C-alpha cells in the first residue's frame, strides 16, 4: 500500500471516529491542548535541569583531572627515577583528560550524545563541541601535557662521534 493510500485510510478512520463520537472528541480537545502545554513545560524544565547537571558533571571532571595532575606533579617533585617518571606520565595524562573534558570513556559517551544531536558550544575554529575548554585552551593544555611527559626524558644532544 502506498503512503498516500495509508494516509487516506488513517484520515477516514479519524473522520469516522469523530462522527461516531462527536461530543467526546470536542470535549477532549481543550483538555488535551492544556495537557500538552503542561507536559511540554515539564519536559522543558527537565531538559534545562539535565543540561545544568551535565555542565556541573563536566566541570567536576575537569577539576578532578586538574587536582590529580597537581598531586602527580607534587609527587614527581619529591621522587626519583621510575617513580618520578610514572608521576610525570600520570600528570600528563590528567592534563590531557582536562583538555578533552574527560578521559576516553567519557569522550565516548559525549560522542554518542553528539551523534544523537545533543551539542553544547561549537568552537569557531575547529567546529568541535565543548562545554568549558575551547580549542585554544585545549591546544595549550595538550602542549603542556606533552612538555610534562618529556620532563623526565634526557635532552637529546648531538654527541661527537668517538674514534
All 3 cell numbers of residue 128?
568541535
Q: Per the structure, how many domains does the chain have?
A: 1
Domain containing residue 127? 37-149
For every residue of 86-120, DSSP letters joined together read HHHHHHHHHHHHHHTTS-HHHHHHHHHHHHTT---
What are the start-end ranges of the E strands in 13-145? Answer: 121-122, 129-130
**pLDDT, position 131:** 86
**pLDDT, position 30:** 56
Q: Report the interhelical angle of 81-99 vs 135-149 (nearest 10°).
A: 170
Per-residue pLDDT tens listing for the chain (163 residues): 666 666 677 666 677 677 666 655 555 555 666 788 899 999 999 999 999 999 999 999 999 999 999 999 999 999 999 999 999 999 999 999 999 999 999 999 999 998 998 888 887 888 788 888 999 999 999 999 999 999 977 666 555 555 4
Q: Are the beta carbons of 131 and 101 closer than 8 angstroms? A: yes
Residue located via cell numbers 568552537: 123
**pLDDT, position 16:** 66
122 strand-pairing partners? 129
Asked, for residue 49, whether it belongs to a domain, the answer is: yes
Asked, for residue 163, whether it belongs to a domain, the answer is: no
Asked, for residue 139, whether it belongs to a domain, the answer is: yes
pTM of the entire structure?
Answer: 0.70
Cα atoms in the 13 Å half-sphere on the side-chain side of 90: 17
Asked, for residue 21, whether it belongs to a domain, the answer is: no
CB-based burial label for 129 (10 Å; 0-12, 13-18, 19+):
middle
Amino acid at each position: 500500500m502506498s503512503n498516500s493510500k495509508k494516509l487516506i485510510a488513517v484520515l477516514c478512520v479519524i473522520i469516522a471516529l469523530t462522527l461516531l463520537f462527536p461530543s467526546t472528541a470536542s470535549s477532549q480537545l481543550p483538555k488535551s491542548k492544556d495537557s500538552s502545554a503542561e507536559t511540554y513545560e515539564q519536559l522543558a524544565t527537565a531538559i534545562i535541569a539535565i543540561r545544568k547537571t551535565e555542565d556541573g558533571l563536566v566541570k567536576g571532571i575537569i577539576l578532578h583531572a586538574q587536582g590529580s595532575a597537581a598531586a602527580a606533579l607534587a609527587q614527581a617533585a619529591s621522587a626519583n627515577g621510575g617513580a618520578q617518571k610514572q608521576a610525570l606520565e600520570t600528570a600528563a595524562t590528567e592534563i590531557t583528560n582536562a583538555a578533552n573534558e574527560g578521559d576516553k570513556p567519557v569522550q565516548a559517551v559525549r560522542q554518542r550524545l553528539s551523534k544523537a544531536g545533543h551539542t553544547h558550544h561549537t568552537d569557531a575554529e575547529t567546529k568541535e563541541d565543548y562545554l568549558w575548554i575551547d580549542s585554544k585552551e585545549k591546544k595549550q593544555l595538550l602542549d603542556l601535557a606533552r612538555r610534562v611527559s618529556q620532563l623526565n626524558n634526557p635532552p637529546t644532544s648531538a654527541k661527537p662521534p668517538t674514534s
